[in-house]
């Protein structure tokens, strides 16, 4: 038999005090993907960097849960400065400690047990479910990493695996959708400016002649001769090592005394044109499109952390009944709510009258939901109707799984807080009357909308407020 790695087993079982199949992989060509679900954890030897990253990507790009959720560590004695490995693996280790590997395996196992099976359907975005489930089992946020091979210049490694890396729009759409549906909260990392035609971040900013579009320019000082008032480019004055005025032929002496340099002029080398203000153009090095500055697409990069809605969706995908698509009577979709909130912030800026926003959430865990069975849906509908009946027509409502968002225009924070506390109390009573076997907490949080509010952070703060409640 042909052994690829003489003297060193390609795949080595690691002895431990636990009944776990932990393997160290040194020769990546020997790894059999069909066996992956049999392992409890895999350790990849970083000696072969390329092979290591390739196998890591192959495992994580699978859509089979027992493969892509496999705990994977990267073994390296040297420090690895590779954010992609950081995002796709479960950690870089410099020695094998089976104790900590075992506790990680157990932690993931507990989380995986909560995941409910779902039937794949065209309405279910399996890539999104994968992101949610990976993030949930790891309690790990998704971070964009710099990548010069990606069109944008950045990528979210796990999201990118399933998409065509040349199609930057697909990744942007996937992220925007996941955030708008409320599955992830988004923390600002950086702002990119991308080509308006192909979303490439590989751009060349240049000053050009506004007439010809030519970038071959030089700048020249303009000289103003005080005594005769003549103004012209410096080259008109240069005579050997002196400056002599072309109009009055006097020699220029001291800058600030008999002449000065009030501004610069641009000179287009090819056409020999002089002009004052060049134009800024941005050429896309990917598709060749010449963008105006205003034509660039602004794209924000976020750290994506799972929200409670995201956890619910990870555990039990709702598919076609997905939170954002379902329109409940009296409610607008979460995405439309986001738009309303943005308008409201603009309105507050001009009216200077602050508004408020509240979030109400019955603490129905997946265990309680399981227990309630068919009764759950009925209960949620009842809560839904309760919120509608306890708000006024001027309030804007959105419902996402069992989170109820209430936008109260021109309502001061203390008034909003009072209304929310009242609702929280009544809802608690409603739940006590309807669910005998469980004690369901009701959480509420409120935020003020000021001219300085930013809509995404308002929503994030609201959710964070619930966690502290
Ligand atoms: Zn002169
Ligand atoms: Zn382009």
Digit-coded pLDDT (tens) for 19-66 = 999 999 999 998 998 889 999 999 999 999 999 999 999 999 998 899
Ligand 2 center to residue 279 CA distance, Å? Answer: 19
Average pLDDT over residues 239-256: 94
Q: Which two tokens stand for residue 145?
A: 């990493």
Beta bridge partners of 281: 206, 292
Work out the percent of the chain whose per-residue pLDDT is above 70: 95
Ligand nearest to the CA of 225: 1
| Ligand 1 centroid, distance to 245 Cα (angstroms) | 5
Q: Nearest CA to 54 among 167, 164, 161?
A: 161
Cα 286 from Cα 300, distance rounded (Å): 20
198 Cα: distance to centroid of ligand 2 (angstroms):
4
Ligand nearest to the CA of 284: 2
**pLDDT grade for 351, boundaries at 50, 70 and 90:** confident
Between the CA of 252 and the centroid of ligand 1 the distance, in Å, is: 8
pLDDT of residue 82 exceeding 70? yes
257 C-alpha vs ligand 1 centroid, how far in Å? 13
Give pTM, 2 decimals. Answer: 0.65
273 CA distance to ligand 1 middle (Å): 23
Token readout for 226 is: 């005080």
Concatenating the DSSP letter of every residue in 134-172 gives HHHHHT--B--EE-TTSSSSEE-HHHHTTS-TT-HHHHH
Q: Which ligand number lies closest to the CA of residue 226?
A: 1
**How many A from CA of 251 to the centre of ligand 1?**
8
CB-based neighbours (< 5 A) of ligand 2, an ion: 195, 197-198, 200, 284, 286-287, 289
pLDDT in tens, 156-214: 999 888 777 677 788 888 888 899 888 999 999 999 999 999 899 999 999 999 999 99
Dist CA 111 CA 329 (whole Å) = 34
Q: How far apart are CA 228 and CA 248, in angstroms?
A: 7
Sequence-distant (6+) residues with CB within 8 A of 180 are 324, 334, 335, 338
pLDDT digits (tens, 9 = 90+) for 353-381: 899 999 999 988 878 887 887 788 788 88
């Amino acid at each position: 038999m042909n052994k690829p790695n003489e003297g060193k087993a390609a795949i080595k079982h690691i002895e431990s005090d636990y009944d776990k199949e932990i393997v160290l992989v040194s020769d990546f060509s020997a790894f059999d993907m069909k066996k992956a679900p049999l392992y409890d954890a895999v350790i990849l030897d970083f000696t072969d960097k390329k092979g290591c990253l390739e196998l890591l990507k192959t495992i994580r790009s699978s859509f089979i849960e027992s493969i892509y959720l496999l705990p994977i560590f990267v073994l390296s004695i040297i420090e690895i400065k590779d954010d992609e490995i950081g995002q796709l693996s479960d950690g870089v280790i410099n020695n094998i400690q089976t104790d900590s590997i075992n506790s990680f395996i157990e932690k993931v196992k507990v989380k995986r047990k909560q995941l409910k099976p779902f039937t794949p359907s065209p309405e279910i975005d399996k890539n999104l479910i994968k992101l949610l489930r990976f993030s949930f089992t790891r309690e790990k946020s998704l971070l964009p990493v710099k990548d010069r091979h990606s069109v944008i210049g950045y990528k979210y490694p796990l999201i990118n695996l399933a998409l065509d890396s040349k199609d930057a729009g697909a990744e942007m759409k996937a992220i925007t959708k996941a955030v708008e549906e409320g599955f992830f909260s988004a923390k600002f990392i950086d702002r990119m400016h991308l080509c308006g035609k192909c979303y490439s971040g590989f751009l060349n900013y240049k000053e050009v002649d506004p007439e010809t579009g030519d970038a071959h320019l030089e700048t020249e000082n303009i000289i103003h001769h005080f005594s005769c008032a003549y103004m012209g480019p410096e080259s008109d004055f240069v005579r050997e090592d002196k400056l002599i005025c072309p109009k009055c032929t006097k020699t220029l002496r001291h800058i600030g005394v008999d002449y000065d340099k009030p501004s610069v002029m641009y000179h287009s080398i090819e056409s020999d044109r002089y002009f004052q203000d060049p134009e800024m153009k941005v050429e896309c090095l990917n598709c060749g499109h010449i963008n105006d500055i205003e034509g660039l697409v602004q794209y924000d990069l976020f750290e994506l952390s799972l929200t409670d809605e995201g956890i619910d969706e990870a555990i039990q995908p709702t598919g076609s009944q997905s939170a954002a698509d379902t329109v409940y009577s009296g409610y607008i979709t979460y995405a439309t709510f986001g738009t309303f909130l943005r308008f409201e912030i603009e309105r507050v800026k001009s009216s200077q009258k602050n508004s408020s926003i509240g979030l109400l959430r019955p603490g129905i865990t997946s265990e309680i939901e399981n227990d309630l069975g068919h009764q759950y849906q009925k209960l949620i509908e009842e809560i839904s109707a309760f919120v509608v009946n306890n708000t006024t027509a001027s309030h804007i409502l959105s419902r996402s799984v069992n989170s109820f968002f209430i936008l109260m225009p021109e309502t001061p924070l203390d008034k909003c807080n009072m209304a929310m506390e009242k609702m929280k109390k009544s809802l608690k009573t409603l739940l006590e009357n309807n669910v005998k076997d469980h004690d369901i907490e009701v959480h509420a949080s409120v935020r003020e909308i000021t001219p300085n509010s930013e809509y995404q952070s308002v929503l994030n703060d609201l959710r964070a407020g619930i966690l502290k409640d």
